């Protein structure tokens, strides 16, 4: 019977160069160079001495980065659906839903900030508000919530306003899905097929009937069945993001008006009633 292993640990400092790691970067691209970390990490500029202002800035900046990626994926998913290439679209929609899972998790960090913490720097925000996020507005327009009134906060930046207007006047993700249904033989009404895509989508009985047929015979219509579920999955995470936004704001400022002038929680609760893909939710009562 042998005793416990008493071999001493090797305490010699490890040099990654001995394993082939590149250790000198004069004239070579480094990790920081590739990611432009100097620009990113110098973009946090608190306007007060409050400890939690950095948390507030980082949470919103990282959310904007995730939204940039979401727009990239949604645009590609929409293009693939328009071309009838559903398998790549499924992957992109799944990724977008997971991006919103990350955005949802960010609220958990922000909710560690108490009303007292926020009050210490709130006046430094002036009239700035997440309500004015042009990337979030672009996401809403791209997925079909096309409220023309929401362009006005961006009129002071002509290139942003023009970009948002182009997205608003283009087909939405859901428009392309419904058009694909029509092209493959489902009976979609003329009102839907010729509608003004710059306006908010209105639920239609013919679209509901088409999706209901898909759900009643998923084996026959499997690609559309999977497309429908990918869209529902995305909207599920998107709704959770809105809900978490409401509860976070209520937890931190109660029913005060938002810094951007909205009614705060009351306004955000109204947004919870917006449904992006109405027939996909309504049909569940028919099955």
Query: According to the annotation, is 57 in a ligand binding site?
Result: yes
pLDDT digits (tens, 9 = 90+) for 72-108: 999 999 999 999 999 999 999 999 999 999 999 999 9
**What is the domain partition of the chain in residue ranges?**
52-283
Q: Which pLDDT score is estimated for 252?
A: 78
Fold (topology level) of 52-283: Methane Monooxygenase Hydroxylase; Chain G, domain 1 (1.20.58)
pLDDT band, residue 256 (cuts 50/70/90): low
Can you tell me the distance from the alpha carbon of 247 to that of 255, in angstroms, rounded to the nearest whole number? 11
CB 134 within 8 A of CB 268: no
Query: DSSP assignment of 215-276, as one string?
Result: HHSTTTTHHHHHHHHHHHHHHHHHHHHHHHHHHHHHHHHTTPPPTTSS-THHHHHHHTT--S
**How far, in Å, CA of 118 to CA of 84, rounded?**
48
Residue with the two structure tokens 């007060």: 48
Task: Check the annotation: does 56 bind a ligand.
Answer: yes
* Tokens linked to 57: 């800035």
Tens digits of residue pLDDT in 181-225:
999 999 999 999 999 999 999 999 999 999 999 999 999 999 999
Backbone angles phi, psi at 8, to 5 degrees: -70, 150
pTM of the predicted structure, to 2 decimals: 0.89
* Residue 253, annotated as binding a ligand: no
Pick the more confident residue, 60 or 247. 60
Query: Is 187 buried (19+), middle (13-18) or exposed (0-12) by CB count in 10 A?
Result: exposed
Q: In whole angstroms, what is the distance from residue 91 CA to residue 68 CA? A: 17
- Quote the CA–CA distance of 141 and 147 in Å, as a whole number: 8
pLDDT at 155: 94
Asked if the model's pLDDT at residue 247 lies above 90, the reply is: no
Does residue 258 carry a pLDDT above 80? Answer: no
Lowest-pLDDT choice from 60-69, 104-113, 123-132, 273-282: 123-132
Model confidence band, residue 2 (pLDDT cutoffs 50, 70, 90): low
Which pLDDT score is estimated for 255? 59
Contact (CB, 8 A) for 110 and 174: no
- What pLDDT, on a 0 to 100 scale, did the predictor assign at position 10? 75
The answer on pLDDT for 257 being more than 70 is: no
Tokens 């010729």 belong to 194
Residue 102 assigned as binding residue: no
Q: How far is 158 from 140, CA to CA, in rounded Å? A: 19
Q: How confident is the model at residue 18 (pLDDT cuts 50, 70, 90)?
A: confident
Is residue 157 annotated as involved in ligand binding?
no
Is 245 annotated in some ligand binding site? yes
- Cα 194-134-108 angle, rounded to 5 deg: 115
Q: Is the pLDDT of residue 42 over 70?
A: yes
266 marked as part of a ligand binding site: no
259 annotated as ligand-binding: yes
Nearest to 281 by CA among 199, 208, 193: 208
Report which DSSP code applies to 207: H
pLDDT digits (tens, 9 = 90+) for 164-173: 999 999 999 9
Q: Residue 4 — very low, low, confident or very high, per pLDDT cuts 50/70/90?
A: low
167 annotated ligand binder: no
Looking at residue 260, what is its pLDDT? 62
Give the tokens for residue 24: 């000198």
In the chain, the N- to C-terminal Cα span, in Å, equals: 69
């Amino acid at each position: 019977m042998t005793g416990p292993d008493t071999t001493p640990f090797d305490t010699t400092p490890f040099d990654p160069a001995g394993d082939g790691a590149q250790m000198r970067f004069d004239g070579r691209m480094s990790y920081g160079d590739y990611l432009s970390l100097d620009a990113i990490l110098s973009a946090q500029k608190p306007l007060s001495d409050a400890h939690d202002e950095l948390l507030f800035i980082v949470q919103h900046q990282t959310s904007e980065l995730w939204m940039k990626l979401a727009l990239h994926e949604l645009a590609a998913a929409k293009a693939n659906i328009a071309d009838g290439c559903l398998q790549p679209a499924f992957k992109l929609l799944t990724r977008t839903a997971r991006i919103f899972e990350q955005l949802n998790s960010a609220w958990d960090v922000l909710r560690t900030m108490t009303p007292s913490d926020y009050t210490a720097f709130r006046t430094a925000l002036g009239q700035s508000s997440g309500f004015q996020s042009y990337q979030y507005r672009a996401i809403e327009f791209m997925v079909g919530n096309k409220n023309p009134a929401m362009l006005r906060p961006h009129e002071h930046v002509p290139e942003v306003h023009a970009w948002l207007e182009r997205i608003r006047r283009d087909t939405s993700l859901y428009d392309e899905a419904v058009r694909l249904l029509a092209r493959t033989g489902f009976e979609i009404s003329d009102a839907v097929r010729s509608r003004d895509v710059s306006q908010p989508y209105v639920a239609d009985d013919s679209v509901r009937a088409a999706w209901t047929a898909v759900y009643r015979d998923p084996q026959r219509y499997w690609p559309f069945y999977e497309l429908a579920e990918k869209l529902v999955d995305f909207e599920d995470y998107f709704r959770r993001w809105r809900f978490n936004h409401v509860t976070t704001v209520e937890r931190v400022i109660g029913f005060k008006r938002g810094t951007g002038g909205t009614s705060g929680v009351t306004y955000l609760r109204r947004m919870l009633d917006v449904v992006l893909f109405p027939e996909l939710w309504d049909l569940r009562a028919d099955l």
